[in-house]
């Protein structure tokens, strides 16, 4: 389905240029559920650093890779431990900013710094009981590990006559959720994300100096790593692109005016008239717009049903589908398959929202109870 989304974004420009229809791009913000659901009685959380102090952040000596691109001058891969204190502080701050729990308390001192003998990072049930009591919280979220993979590259761009350098870092934080009187963690969250820096210079010597330093990279990547687990633990907002078909007929143009007035019910009424009276692309345009109208009013199930109708019309428009799909892989395809990919992408996103509705409502109930 990710491929379909990429195809959709790649072809929407063709739709705007080649079709008689006018397409406007909109943005929509909506909330998705977290992977973890916390019982309603867990309202006070302690964020703890359960990593040992590690003064030497680098895990593996950097490795030099052979240049595969003639323009590439240098490439280096390094592996690091992150700074657990920074990551724990950012994790606590990010969770507190969401106002999801009544109280967020941080304990960023390394709990294992005084250990005389190595042991597993997992906290014992006795430690969890003691920590929750000392911090005055109901449960703990502990940072267990944070590691990085850094790829530094420097290339020369002859067309621009500049040296271009990049530092691409993948972060791998691990957190565990502990409940008192439970022998094992409630859940373990292993996640990953990327952070990126770049620089350019007319001098090969200067480009290496202008790229972010190792020290600053570790600090900033450690801070970024603390934000990554939040969407796995708490409901989160997502910004997505949507497309509105606005031209071609009087009803479509009038509906676009209602949209600008935020009068979605009246716009939907006109689009339904179009859907019932038109065929082919115009019918697909109307069905897609109706789905968007219901989504904007948070009627996700109805929006999904209309998006499926738009997809079905688009599918019937696509001739020789198997051949067209092969053409898509080569970057050459008809506009009809473009419509099918676009509607399929929309169906997929609405399916994601639809599947998460019940879980999201349960997760947000603690906030609704406060009002």
- Span 220-276, pLDDT tens digits: 999 999 999 999 999 999 999 999 999 889 999 999 999 999 999 999 999 999 999
Same domain, 195 and 255: no
Residues 117 and 248 in one domain: no
pLDDT in tens, 13-25: 444 434 456 889 9
- pLDDT in the model for residue 151: 95
Domain termination residue (choose one: 235, 269, 299)? 235
Last residue of a domain, one of 200, 235, 270: 235
217 shares a domain with 176: yes
Give yes or no: residues 246 and 226 share one domain: no
**Are 142 and 215 contained in the same domain?**
yes
- Classify residue 117: in a domain, yes or no: yes
Same domain, 95 and 218: yes
Task: Report pLDDT for 45.
Answer: 97
Residue 9: the pLDDT is: 44
pLDDT, position 8: 46
| Same domain, yes or no: 15 and 85 | no
- Assess whether 214 and 346 both reside in one domain: no
Q: What integer pLDDT is reported at residue 16 of this predicted model?
A: 43
pLDDT at 113: 55
- Asked if 196 and 107 sit in the same domain, the reply is yes
Q: What is the mean pLDDT of the chain?
A: 85
What is the domain count for the chain?
2
Specify whether 150 is located in the same domain as 258.
no
The DSSP code sequence of 7-65 is HHHHHHHHHHHHSSS-EEEEEEEEEE--S----TT--EEEEEE-S---S--EEEEEEEP
Q: Which of 201, 235, 269 is the last residue of a domain?
A: 235
pLDDT of amino acid 334: 52
Give yes or no: residues 191 and 77 share one domain.
yes
In a domain, 92, yes or no: yes
Is 114 inside a domain boundary? yes
Whether 60 is covered by a domain: the verdict is yes
pLDDT at 244: 95
- Distance, in Å, from the CA atom of 235 to the CA atom of 9, rounded to the nearest integer, reads 26
Q: Note whether residue 308 is domain-resident.
A: yes
Residues of the chain below pLDDT 50: 1-19, 116-119, 320-322, 324-325, 328-333, 371
Q: Which residues contact 195 (CB under 8 A, 6 or more apart)?
A: 169, 171, 220, 221, 224
User: Cα separation of 288 and 272, whole Å?
Assistant: 11
- Asked whether residue 38 is domain-assigned, the answer is no
**What is the domain range of residue 281?**
2-26+241-368
157: in domain: yes
Residue 6: per-residue pLDDT: 42
Examine the domain organization and report whether 271 and 132 are in the same domain. no
């Amino acid at each position: 389905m990710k491929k379909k989304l990429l195809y959709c974004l790649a072809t929407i420009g063709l739709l705007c240029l080649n079709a008689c229809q006018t397409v406007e791009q909109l943005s929509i913000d909506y909330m998705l559920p977290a992977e973890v659901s916390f019982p309603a009685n867990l309202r006070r959380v302690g964020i703890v650093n359960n990593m040992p102090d590690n003064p030497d952040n680098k895990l593996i000596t950097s490795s030099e890779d052979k240049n595969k691109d003639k323009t590439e001058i240098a490439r280096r891969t390094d592996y690091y431990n992150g700074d657990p204190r920074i990551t724990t502080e950012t994790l606590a701050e990010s969770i507190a900013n969401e106002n999801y729990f009544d109280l967020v308390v941080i304990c960023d001192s390394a709990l294992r710094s005084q250990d005389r003998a190595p042991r597993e990072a997992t906290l014992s049930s006795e430690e969890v009981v003691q920590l929750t009591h000392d911090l005055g919280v109901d449960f703990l979220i502990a940072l267990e590990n944070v590691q990085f993979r850094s790829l530094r590259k420097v290339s020369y761009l002859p067309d621009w006559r500049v040296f271009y350098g990049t530092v691409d870092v993948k972060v791998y934080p691990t957190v565990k959720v502990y409940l008192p009187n439970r022998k094992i963690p409630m859940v373990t969250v292993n996640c990953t994300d990327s952070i990126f820096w770049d620089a350019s210079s007319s001098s090969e010597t200067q480009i290496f100096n202008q790229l972010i330093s190792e020290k600053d990279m570790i600090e900033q990547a450690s801070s970024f790593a603390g934000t990554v687990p939040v969407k796995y633990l708490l409901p989160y907002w997502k910004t997505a692109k949507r497309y509105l078909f606005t031209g071609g007929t009087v009803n479509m143009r009038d509906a676009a005016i209602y949209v600008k007035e935020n009068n979605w019910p009246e716009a939907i009424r006109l689009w339904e008239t179009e859907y019932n009276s038109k065929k082919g692309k115009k019918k697909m345009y109307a069905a897609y717009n109706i789905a968007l109208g219901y989504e904007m009013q948070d009627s996700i199930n109805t929006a999904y049903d209309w998006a499926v109708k738009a997809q079905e019309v688009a599918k019937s428009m696509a001739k020789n589908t198997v051949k067209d799909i092969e053409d898509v892989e080569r970057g050459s395809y008809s506009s009809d398959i473009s419509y099918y990919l676009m509607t399929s992408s929309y169906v997929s996103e609405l399916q994601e929202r639809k599947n998460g509705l019940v879980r999201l409502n349960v997760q947000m109930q603690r906030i609704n109870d406060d009002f």
